Amino acid sequence: MAIVFKKRPGLVAYITCGDPSLEISRDVALAGIAAGADVIELGVPFSDPVADGPVIQRASERALQHGTDLAGVLDVARQIRQQSKAGLIIFSYLNPILQFGLEKFCAAAAAAGVDGALVTDLPVEEAADYLRSMKAHKLAPVFLAAPTSTEERLGAIAKHSRGFVYAISRTGITGTRQEVASDAHSLVERLRGFTKLPIAVGFGVSTPEQFAEVGQFADAVVIGSAIVQRIEQNTGRESAAVSEFLQSLTTTSQPAGVTG
């Protein structure tokens, strides 16, 4: 499989798997794909999600209380892949992958039909073993680039990323914001000096206006907290709520044929 953005801007949708259940996470993901998501980030709940704001922290706590683990998330990926060709990314902190076993994880992810992984707290400078295993199993490593990253670091991130590069719109934790940080545009321009891969901007995008704004300079937009919040607030109609929200974002998208 290859990660393909069929329009500009493309849509990357994040969900915390296991909140409120793995079955509902699967259904929400499929509903998101039907509503226009090009890539689904399947979040692995973690007990100390230091990069995440309160919405995703609460979702992780609930998912862990339900016994969600990496094996369960990989099974959700397998079920989604049986019904869709959309991009699938495992979104995790490093510890659950190390506990699972790095080589075992890469083999299991490939067998499940996953396209790649984003390990939030693994610096590219310390990722040699991870990159080796990912390459062996033909998986795409996706790295985070921050506004505070040096040129040297952006070059390394671009060199080792596959599929797309995730540009963090601002420093700090995840969560919806009233406006898109000005750092996002300049970061995308800096990254374009190092890579031809699509660049997706995330952290804080939550409205159709922000989605359109980011789409003026980025290839794709990542939506996370705003989706997780709708799942939290719409018990019993999670898939419908997420579908309606994503459709409201993408109705103004224009075809662009951006691929990666």
Contact between 120 and 50 under an 8 Å Cβ cutoff? The reply is no
- The pLDDT assigned to 177 comes to 44
What is the full per-residue pLDDT of the chain (260 aa) written as tens digits?
A: 579 998 889 999 999 999 999 999 999 999 999 999 999 999 999 988 766 778 999 999 999 999 999 999 999 999 999 999 999 999 999 999 999 999 999 999 999 999 999 999 999 999 999 999 999 999 999 999 999 999 999 999 999 999 999 999 755 444 444 445 568 899 999 999 999 999 999 987 888 998 999 999 999 999 999 999 999 999 999 999 999 999 999 775 444 433 33
Q: How far apart are CA 70 and CA 242, in angstroms?
A: 23
CB 80 within 8 A of CB 40: yes
Q: 118 and 91 in contact (C-beta within 8 Å)?
A: yes
Facing residues of 13 across strands?
Answer: 40, 223
Q: Which residues are catalytic?
A: 41, 52
Separation CA 147–CA 69 (nearest Å): 32
- Residue 251 is predicted with a pLDDT of 78
- pLDDT for res 252: 55
Q: Give me the pLDDT at residue 187, please.
A: 95
Instruction: Tell me what pLDDT residue 1 has.
Output: 54
- Cis status of the peptide bond prior to 45, with omega within 30 of 0: no
- What domains appear along the chain, each with residue ranges and CATH number? 10-250 (3.20.20.70)
Distance (Å, rounded) from C-alpha 69 to C-alpha 88? 17
Q: Collapsing DSSP states into helix, strand and coil, what is residue 199?
A: strand
Model pLDDT, residue 204: 79
> To 10 degrees, the CA torsion angle through 28, 207, 173, 254?
80
Q: How far is CA 229 from CA 1, 39, 58, 109, in A?
A: 30, 19, 10, 27
On whether the CB atoms of residues 14 and 43 are closer than 8 A, the answer is yes
Q: What is the pLDDT of residues 22-72, one digit of tens each?
A: 999 999 999 999 999 999 999 999 988 766 778 999 999 999 999 999 999
pLDDT in tens, 152-176: 999 999 999 999 999 997 554 444 4
Looking at residue 9, its pLDDT comes to 94
Place of tokens 């596959």: 162
